[in-house]
Amino acid sequence: MLKIVGGSGSDALATRVALELGLKATRLEIRRFPDGEKYLRVLEDVKGEDIVAIQSIHHAPDDLLFEYLLLVDTLKDLGAKKVVSFIPYFAYARQDERFHSGEALSFKTVCKLVESVGTDEVYTIDTHQHRVLKSSDVFSIPSHNLSAMPLLADYISKTGGLKKPLVIGPDAEAEQWAKIAAERMGADYDVFEKKRLGDENVEVRPRKVSTKDRDVLIVDDIISTGGTIVEALKTLFSQGAKRIEVACTHPILVSGALSKIYEAGAQNVIGTDTVPSPISYVSVAPLITEHVRKAGLT
Ligand code: R5P
């Protein structure tokens, strides 16, 4: 029988996925030894079972990555037949290139680690693979990068705060997400060009779009410090945009990002539960469930 197991980066999400499939999430015991080492115990028999392991690697990424490695290695060692991993937020994906000589290619290293513990197949969601275009460029096991943009677009359409919105990606790479969201909403889309001035500073300029008197939805994969979105909001308002809402798949939200975005004039900011946050209004559980079913695991 299929078992759904969630690490502490995605325990609530795993519970939702299990419930949607008419199951109960498999119980784990996760704690620390007094010296800070992690302890993990699988509390149910998994021998001969197919397992869906769900673990986002978000805040404290090294800790959650290590927990993921312990989890999958243990499941395989206990005799699980197949382990299919869903890693909704895949940390380190932004370091997919050596921008300065001598830098670690962290994305590739993490992919190697994920494979090394015997994961049979891996699913990610809106992974920031800009220079690495396909999951198969970095994984040698079957891999799939899903998108939560249709779910976000449906939520925005349902809440109905925007009239005939224009969908904007805050940089050239966000075109892929703007396109999916716009198509789902039957809307137009465009992207801005972005110049990064440092870890927390970016300058955003419009490409070709006129936003005068338009309602706008800004979409991006990640909101981390909020710098990218704040610059996009400033630019859009200076061009005469009326009402602006913001949606992202992964609301990492560090350095007061949410306050900065509201202060810059966004009416609404929404994200998914790939990263649990105060704006995780949209669950990716239906997306995961759909692909668990499609993969014939149920
Ligand atoms: C980068 O290209 C990503 O798509 C996001 O735009 C970026 O990670 C957001 O980071 P921040 O919120 O710190 O500007």
pLDDT digits (tens, 9 = 90+) for 113-148: 999 999 999 999 999 877 666 788 889 999 999 999
Residues 6+ apart with CB under 8 A from 57: 9, 64, 65, 68, 87, 89, 90, 91, 92, 110
Token pair 């991993």 in the structure block, residue: 85
Count Cβ atoms within 10 A of the Cβ of residue 155 and give its class: 0-12 exposed, 13-18 middle, 19 or more buried. middle
Say which residue the tokens 């224009």 belong to.
Answer: 166
In a domain, 55, yes or no: yes
* 3-state SS assignment for residue 253: coil
Total domains in the chain come to: 2
163 C-alpha to ligand 1 centroid (Å): 26
Q: Are residues 210 and 267 in the same domain?
A: yes
Examine the residue annotation and report whether 112 is marked as an active-site residue of this protein. Answer: no
Q: What is the CATH number of the domain that holds 178?
A: 3.40.50.2020
pLDDT at 22: 98
Q: What tens digit of pLDDT does each residue of 36-49 get?
A: 999 999 999 999 99
Residue 113 included in any domain: yes
Query: What φ, ψ does residue 77 adopt, rounded to 5°?
Result: -65, -30
Specify whether 42 is located in the same domain as 142: yes
Q: Is residue 278 part of a domain?
A: no
> Could you tell me the two tokens for 189?
């889309």
Ligand 1 mean position, distance from CA 223 (Å): 6
Residues with a CB atom less than 6 Å from ligand 1: 128, 170-171, 173-174, 202, 220-228
Q: What is the pLDDT of residue 129?
A: 72
* Model pLDDT, residue 246: 98
From the number of C-beta atoms within 10 Å of its C-beta (0-12, 13-18, 19+), residue 35 rates as: exposed
Pair 267, 289 in one domain = no
Asked if residue 193 and residue 268 are part of one domain, the reply reads: yes
The model's pTM: 0.94
State which residues form the domain around 250: 149-273
Mark whether 99 and 198 lie in a shared domain: no
**Whether residue 221 is found in the same domain as residue 156:** yes
